[in-house]
Structure 1
Amino acid sequence: MIVITLTKVPPSLRGDLTKWYQEIQTGVYVGNVSARVRDQLWDRVMRDIGNGQATMVYNAKNEFGYQFKTTRKDRRVVDFDDIPLMKRLNTLEEPVKLGFSNASKYHRARLSSRKALKPEHPGHSERSTQLVAIDIETTGLDAVKNQIISIAAFKSIGIKECQHFDAYISIDQPVPENIVKLTGITDSKLKDEGIELVDALRSLKKFVGNLPIVGYNLEFDDKFISLGFKKYNQSGIDNKMIDLMPLVKKANRFLDNFRLNTVLKKYDISNEHPHEAYADAQATLALAEKLIKNGDLVI
């Protein structure tokens, strides 16, 4: 059995889910579908969720007999000796600033604040803050069952200067056909160019050093990377982590959706190879810099 709870999501998403699940109470959906359909529907939830939140509970072969996923920013799903736990994060809501109850007032407030935060010499602010943007590609969405196949990171080191790290990861299973179509990563590419995950993680940790790490929907990447370090009994990365998605949602409440490609277009950032870790990490760094320049991200 599968249970999905939704809050503050677009009506179109709720209507879409009723094709597969029964809505037994407002925002609570129950159904019994295959794992493939379940994962595809969760992808659809992630794609169309807008400003809302979703949590899914489903059958799994572990101590409790179930596993769960969530989009909540104040919770994180963690694995403790094959036992799924929901970790409460110590996050504090920032006080709501004036003008949010009305769209026009909100936009006027945003424009005013951005003008006030704009530096006198805009060119001097480019890459003045050192940080690292990371992105990964995987064989699926489940960090326990699926594997990392590509890791990339871009590090700003000064004005208009950056360094990059990227690696393909050899795995012990075929790359699913839908992932090949999405990422362009094939079994032969991983065989020819892939390295062991443990070596990639060690190199990544050395590359990021102690700099702040940014990502888009960073919880997804962090979950896979953390479990990778745990698999090899290695200490993970404990740097400051900043997810850009909630910052974008706060700054742009009226976007049609918050998929990375949509957000990049909003900020006039080019990404010619979406779903390629190298390109996505580079675009994520550019997005972080735009958010810093606009005053929406403070490192």
Structure 2
Amino acid sequence: MTNCPPSLRGDLSKWLCEINTGVYVGNVSSRVRDAIWDRVCENLKNGQATLVFNINNEQRMDFRTHNTSWEAVDFEGIKLMRRPLPRTQAPAADLKPGFSNAAKRQMAQKMARKKAAAPAKEESYTVIDLETTGLNAASDAIVEYGALRVRDGQPAEEFSALVRGTEPLPDVVAKLTGITPEERSGGMEPLAALEAFLAFVGKDTLVGYHLKFDLDFLRAACIRNDRPLLTNRSIDVLPLARRKVSGVMNYKLLTLARHFEVAQQETHRALPDCRLIQQVYAKLNETGSAR
């Protein structure tokens, strides 16, 4: 990490050990890791950051980047770091005259970072949401798939599938979702549900709330079932809301939905949550939505 502000360095030091300037290492849960990364993305305005962490895949590792031209890409199931070719950089001819070459490069990089940080306004995409037996993608399972296809800003088609399982749902999950044993016994086999979901989303841009959670479970399911990993472009509504919305008690999905007056009650089912996420995402992309 570069240009780390003191407040962020203090937060990182609570969980990780700084072994060199800007280099932090530690052994934390995936939940803590994701919270730390969210904190980095929110507070590291001018610096760059790269996260490397263990995951249950062939390489036993994964990457994330922030404010850097290098990007993590999936190449036939292998995660690589890609460095952009020089021709992908902003041309110096577009910059104001009278600056040194070094200053022009810095301005070009700043413009590229600003463009990368700007929230995308997708009009055609697919919203996804999953219900699971727990929080650990490596050991827990997907209970329900939900997806909402959006075309030209309007919901066009829906997908919903319960997954049959031999083990009873944990009490907290059954109470939260309201999914009964009878409903689950009539669901699809895990592989069939996964394949139907993957076929529905295709190559669409994926939109979700705390999307990293869903993508981790999908990645684990694909690995277990020997299916190609998703490489779709993705947009997470949670960090987008944190950038654009102020004056709310918290950034839970239901809180944001009530802030935008699009819902009054909680559902905790995959497809209804997809509809809620789509409405919140649409509001966030409206002019003056940060109220």
When normalised by structure 1's length, the TM-score is 0.56
Distance in 1, Cα, partners of 2:239 & 2:193:
29
Q: Secondary structure at the match of 2:286?
A: helix
Kept after mapping to 2: 8 A contact 1:182/1:275: no
Letter in 2 for 1:197: P
Matching residue within 121, 124, 127 for 1:130: 124
Distance 1:135 1:88, change over 3 A: farther
Segments of 4+ in structure 1 off by > 4 A? Answer: 38-52, 72-76, 85-90, 158-161
Structure 1: any 5+ residue segments left out of the alignment? 1-7, 12-37, 79-84, 91-126
Aligned to 2:148: 154
Superposed counterparts of 1:282-293, under 5 Å: 282-293=275-286
Aligned to 2:94: none
Aligned to 2:100: none
Q: Kindly tell me the number of residue pairs found equivalent between the two proteins.
A: 249
Matching residue within 235, 238, 241 for 2:233: 241
Kept after mapping to 2: 8 A contact 1:271/1:280: no
Distance in 2, Cα, partners of 1:288 & 1:266:
12
Distance in 1, Cα, partners of 2:251 & 2:159:
26
Task: Write the deviation string for residues 41-98 of structure 1: whole angstroms up to 9, x where unpaired.
Answer: 999999999959xx9x99x999xxx999x9x89999x9xxxxxx998999xxxxxxxx
Distance 1:235 1:258, change over 3 A: same
Task: Write the deviation string for residues 167-216 of structure 1: whole angstroms up to 9, x where unpaired.
Answer: 11122322111x33553344614543221121112111221233211111
Kept after mapping to 2: 8 A contact 1:131/1:212: yes
Matching residue within 161, 181, 188 for 1:167: 161
Cα deviation for residue 247 of structure 1 reads: 4.6
Distance in 2, Cα, partners of 1:67 & 1:236:
14
* RMSD value, Cα: 5.1
Letter in 1 for 2:131: E
Task: Write the deviation string for residues 81-136 of structure 1: whole angstroms up to 9, x where unpaired.
Answer: xxxx998999xxxxxxxxxxxxxxxxxxxxxxxxxxxxxxxxxxxx9x22110000
Q: Secondary structure at the match of 2:212?
A: helix
Structure 2: any 5+ residue segments left out of the alignment? 8-28, 45-50, 85-121
Distance in 1, Cα, partners of 2:211 & 2:169:
23
Distance in 2, Cα, partners of 1:61 & 1:39:
12
Distance 1:164 1:225, change over 3 A: same
Distance in 1, Cα, partners of 2:56 & 2:153:
50
